[in-house]
């Protein structure tokens, strides 16, 4: 049945306008995001199918490629879902802005929402001024963490460009376990030595797990 053939009381848009978003089910809210269904099912049926296959958390944890492997989800719908996830992430960060780093936990809190559910390793450099105020963070590489890829040159290039006095290395472990690998230890040691030569202090290397972190400085 097409959406326009449903009574007003069953249409997500009309229910939203009459009662507000709080009155809508997860499937109805998802239907508003997806907007249209396909020739096989209307958008409410599609939303119910997606939620029966995945929880909301699992659905919004999917990557662009994973979403497009779900029946009925093409590039446009995948982008709509990922855009909603990103807005939610930015909203959460804006409610509790961290502008100064005083501990490894500050680093974890700053990056937690953005990294803990990532399916690939992201290596990021966090740039700080002399008072440990955040200048910016910059993604260095995404994918398998390899010493040949994470070269000190790529780490310190944004630091020099932005006149950073200190940096903190940050990356996530998609497994959720933040304990460092031998490769992590080697990369950290090489970058710290390069920082000494450039007079840019490497304060820490924080590995982000799903629920906790591992700090080289603390350990």
**127-180: per-residue pLDDT in tens?**
999 999 999 999 988 876 554 457 788 889 999 999 999 999 999 999 999 999
pLDDT (0 to 100) of residue 113: 83
Reported as a single tens digit per residue, the pLDDT across 47-100 is: 999 999 888 888 888 888 989 998 889 999 999 999 998 898 788 777 767 889
Whole-angstrom distance, CA of residue 156 vs CA of residue 211:
29
Second CATH level (architecture) for the domain 3-93: Orthogonal Bundle (1.10)
| For the chain, domain boundaries | 3-93, 104-215
- Specify which residues 205 forms β-bridges with: 169
Q: What is the pLDDT of residue 60?
A: 84
On whether the CB atoms of residues 117 and 111 are closer than 8 A, the answer is no
More confident residue, 2 or 117: 117
Beta strand 122-128 with 134-142: parallel, antiparallel or unpaired? Answer: antiparallel
Rounded CA-CA distance 105/128 in Å is 16
| CA 145/CA 24 separation, integer angstroms | 43
Mean pLDDT of 23-42: 90
Give, as one character, the DSSP assignment of residue 150. Answer: S
Distances 113 to 33, 96, 142, 167, 211 between C-alpha atoms, Å: 21, 12, 17, 21, 10
- Second-level CATH architecture of 104-215: 3-Layer(aba) Sandwich (3.40)
* pLDDT of res. 147: 47
Lowest mean pLDDT among 21-35, 46-60, 69-83, 186-200: 46-60
Q: pLDDT class for 8, splitting at 50, 70, 90?
A: low
Measure the CA–CA gap between 50 and 140, rounded to whole angstroms: 34
Q: Do domains 3-93 and 104-215 have the same CATH topology?
A: no
Lowest-pLDDT range of 19-23, 140-144, 192-196: 140-144
**List of residues 6+ apart from 87 with CB closer than 8 A:** none
> What pLDDT shows up at residue 148?
46
Residue 136, C-beta contacts closer than 8 angstroms, at least 6 positions apart:
127, 158, 162
**Mean pLDDT, the chain, integer:** 88
């Amino acid at each position: 049945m097409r959406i326009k053939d449903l009574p007003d009381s069953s249409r997500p848009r009309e229910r939203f306008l009459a009662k507000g978003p709080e009155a809508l089910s997860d499937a109805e809210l998802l239907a508003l995001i997806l907007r249209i269904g396909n020739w096989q099912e209307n958008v409410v049926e599609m939303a119910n199918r997606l939620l029966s296959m995945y929880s909301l958390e699992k659905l919004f944890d999917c990557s662009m490629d994973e979403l497009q492997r779900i029946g009925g989800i093409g590039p446009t719908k995948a982008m709509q879902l990922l855009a909603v996830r990103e807005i939610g992430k930015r909203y959460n960060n804006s409610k509790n802005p961290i502008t100064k780093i005083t501990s490894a936990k500050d680093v974890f809190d700053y990056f937690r929402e953005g990294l803990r559910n990532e399916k690939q390793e992201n290596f990021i450099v966090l740039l700080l001024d002399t008072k440990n105020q955040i200048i910016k963070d910059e993604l260095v590489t995404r994918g398998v963490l390899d010493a040949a890829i994470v070269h000190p040159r790529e780490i310190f290039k944004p630091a020099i460009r932005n006149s950073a006095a200190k940096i903190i290395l940050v990356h996530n472990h998609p497994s959720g376990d933040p304990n460092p690998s031998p490769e992590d230890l080697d990369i950290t040691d090489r970058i710290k030595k390069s920082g000494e030569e450039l007079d840019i202090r490497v304060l820490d290397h924080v590995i982000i797990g799903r629920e906790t972190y591992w700090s080289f400085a603390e350990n």
